[in-house]
Amino acid sequence: MIKKIILALLLLGIYQLAYKLLLVRFYLPSLLQIVNSLVTNFSTPSFYIDIFSSLQRVFVGFLVATIVGVVLGILFGYNKFFRNLRFYIELLRPIPPIAWIPIAIIIFGLGDTSSYFIVFLGAFFPIFTSTYFSVISMPEIYKYVAQSFEIGKFKYIKNVIFFYSLPHIFTGMKIGIGMAWMSVIAAELIGAQSGLGYFIQLNRLLLQTDNVVVGMLIIGIIGLLLSKLVDLIETISTPWTK
């Protein structure tokens, strides 16, 4: 913890030094300006609305991506017919979520649905991929044991495949939550009327760089907290890995 604080102070020192030496004060705010802006924004209700809007979009998009990613990952890993369709997933996977924004706006318009869709795309692929590879790499011994005890298909998927894959699913979710958060900001920069991405975009146009940095700072902190939240859920849900 002490090391982390020292490193943070060091980085802040470097920032302040760069601000002083490189004469970028017209473009970048000082540390004091950032702190003032932080206090001002936290006393403004609209700032909370922006944070809440982004969180809500991440929550909905990430939840749908988790459900769809896990279900399809298991289905594609378990069933040979679906496994042959993975070609199409692989075709879509390299397309960055930001490239979908124009298409999302055309289909869903300038609203929350477009953002949900972009967040979904950002989180879906890591969750799907982790789940899929976990299912196909499951040791054969578990399959044989399940067959020997004549465990039914549904029970096998629910009690064996799903729980074997759960730690790997969480790995995908940890990557996915980061991607979801990055995607929502990207979506809000272009196609939203609220949220932290919208807040940054608006302040960029108004040349209020102190607010832009505050927006970035809050994005980083919330991203970190979301990642820790997934860690916590993983610890509670997978006690056998302790």
Partner 1 sequence: MDKITTIVKAENLSFSYDSRISPIFSGLNFIIKDEEFVSVLGKSGCGKTTLASILAGYLKPTSGRILIKDQSISRPGRNRILVNQENDLFVWMTTIQNISLVTNNKKDIISLLKLAGLYDSKDKYPKALSGGMKKRLSLVRALAVNPDFLILDEPFSSLDHNTKSVLESEIDKIISSNKKSTLLVTHDLDEAVFLSDRVIILGGNPTEVKKTIRIDAAHPRSQEFRNSSYFNSIKQKINESY
State the residues that interact with partner 1 by CB under 8 A: 141-142, 144-145, 147-151, 155, 159-160, 163-164, 166, 238-240
Minimum distance from residue 117 beta carbon to partner 1 (Å): 34
Q: In the complex with partner 1, which residue's Cβ is closer, 64 or 160? A: 160
> Residue 231 Cβ, how far from partner 1 at the closest point, in Å?
18
Residue 176 Cβ, how far from partner 1 at the closest point, in Å? 21
How far is residue 132's CA from residue 161's CA, in Å, rounded to a whole number? 11
Minimal distance in Å, beta carbon 101 to partner 1? 40
195-219: b or e for each residue (b if 16 or more CB lie within 10 Å)?
bbbbbbbbbeeeebbbbbbbbeebb
Buried residues in 111-144 as b, exposed as e (16+ CB within 10 A): ebebbbbbbbbbbbbbbbbbbbebbeebeeeeee
Q: How many CB atoms lie within 10 A of CB 238?
A: 14
**Closer Cβ to partner 1, 193 or 237, answer by number:** 237
Q: Taking a C-beta distance cutoff of 8 angstroms, is the pair 27, 208 a contact?
A: no
190 touches 134 (CB < 8 A): no
Nearer of residues 44 and 235 to partner 1, judged by Cβ? 235
Least separation in angstroms between CB 152 and partner 1: 11
Residue nearer to partner 1 on the CB measure, 2 or 141? 141
Our CB check for partner 1 shows the closer of 227 and 238 to be 238
